Amino acid sequence: MLQGPFLFGALALGILFIVVATTRFKVHPFLALIITSYGMGLCSGLSPQETIAALTGGFGKTLSYIGIVIACGCIIGMVLEKSGCALVMANFVLHLIGRTRAVLAMSCTGAMVSIPVFCDSGYVILSPLARSLARTTKESLATFVVALSMGLYATHCLVPPTPGPIAAAGELGADIGKVIMLGLVTMVPVIVATYAYARFVGRRMYVDPGRAQEDASTAAVRESESLPGRLAAFLPILFPVFLIALKSIADLPSHPLGEGSIYMVLLMIGDPNTALLLGVILSWFVVRRHGLEVFGSWCSDGLRDAGTIILITAAGGALGGVLRASPLAAMISDSLSTLDLGRFSILLPFVVAAGLKTSIGSSTVAIITTSSLVAHLLPSMGLATGSGPVLVTLAIASGSMVVSHVNDSYFWVVTQMSGLSVSQGYRLVTIASAIAGITGIIVVLGLTFLLG
């Protein structure tokens, strides 16, 4: 059993193994992640049975959350692409906002969608649009990957009603309304910083968005039918987002839509799994003139892509499950909670959350764990009254963005849905998430001096 710095060293070696195995030796990411999960569990002192339980538990938990969403999202994406809907959407966005602002529009779209929708689901829903815009503008897909993923990521971590900030606000006694307001204030510089990085890295790394996938049936469709209308093209994406947003509104503490039968229906159809399935059904109605045989062929193609994505994402969840079961999280929180930062004490919850996020992978778990650890420290930090709890909530949320890498299921959703290698994922997603978190805490630190 490894302890102290040796356990951190084992984690670093595990991450290095994943990167080298997948890039240098072309080991499939699924196998690299599962092997690393076993190694980390045994090295951290978990028994073989505990290691397997943590591994399969993390795998199953991630699969239950994202499996159906990714499968349905891949079907919708394939149908949109092969039917010409994605091209219609891309052309409309470019016509509306201009070719030069397409990347910024992608960032802002991600930020708006992720308020009611989890960032994982949001990326699955919007990735076909990002790929189509990259193809239409002839820019690197890397630019749109960073813009979209970080737009989604920022509001997911900073702005309620996502579970992390809501749980932290409840634990710390922060006013939800103020968290939303200041979270939006903090989000804007984060979006600007990650947009600038998207532009920067896109000029230095070209990721081919690929051609529109076209088989014999699709070619026949192109020759015999006109492109879908704009409303029809957007509906399979907008409708699931609308349902998920309605559920978020219904779930508010005030229950604005009541608690009767309408509420129960919204709980079901607004669940991301159900909403995306309804999106698949709606996509059939949009392209029904092509016939069931063509639609079935497109579904098969989408599910073929989804299988690998789901397995790799779940394997990332398995590694996160093992790390959460290990002593690593407790060691990080115990060691960092003793820091005395004086006037910059707002940095303490940020550092703790960043350490937990980097080691265990889940932003939500990092937010909830950190808020419970620092709640009793607020009086000694001078942040127990006024705007203090709100600022601590946002500091924790900023820390939970630093950094997304191979133990984070979101990292795998973004890389696999975008066709990126692990090394490309580190350069795009990991660095961008570090920029997002650091920008967030700089803004929160400024708000602390302004409002304190």
pLDDT score for 315: 87
* Range of weakest confidence among 158-162, 211-215, 311-315: 211-215
Give the highest mean pLDDT range of 216-230, 283-297, 378-392. 283-297
| Number of domain units in the chain | 1
In a domain, 91, yes or no: yes
49-69 per-residue burial string, b: 16 or more CB within 10 A, e: under 16: ebbebbbebbbebbbebbbbb
* The predicted structure's pLDDT at residue 220: 47
Tell me the pLDDT tens digit for each residue of 75-123. Answer: 988 888 788 887 787 788 778 878 788 999 899 888 888 876 778 888 9
Give domain status of residue 331, yes or no.
no
Planar angle of CA 419, 97, 84, nearest 5 degrees: 50
Assess if residue 255 is contained within a domain: yes
pLDDT of residue 291: 86
Q: Compute the half-sphere exposure of residue 41: CA atoms within 13 Å on the CB side of its CA.
A: 25
Q: Per the domain annotation, does 218 fall within a domain?
A: yes
* pLDDT per position as a tens digit, 193-243: 999 999 999 999 999 887 655 554 454 454 445 678 888 888 988 898 889
CA gap 50, 27 in Å, rounded:
26
Residue 337 placed within a domain: no
Write down the residue that tokens 């968005």 correspond to.
209
Within a domain: 401: no
The contacts of residue 446 (CB under 8 Å, 6+ apart) are: none
Give a yes or no: residue 16 inside a domain: yes
* Domain coverage including residue 127: 5-323
Is 162 a residue whose pLDDT tops 80?
no
Does residue 119 sit within a domain? yes
**339 versus 123: which is more confidently predicted?**
123
Structure confidence by residue, pLDDT tens digits, 34-68: 999 999 999 988 999 999 999 999 899 888 878 89
Average pLDDT over the chain, rounded to whole?
85
Q: How confident is the model at residue 425 (pLDDT cuts 50, 70, 90)?
A: very high
- For the entire predicted model, the pTM comes to 0.77
Question: What is the Cα–Cα distance from 339 to 375, expressed in whole angstroms?
Answer: 15
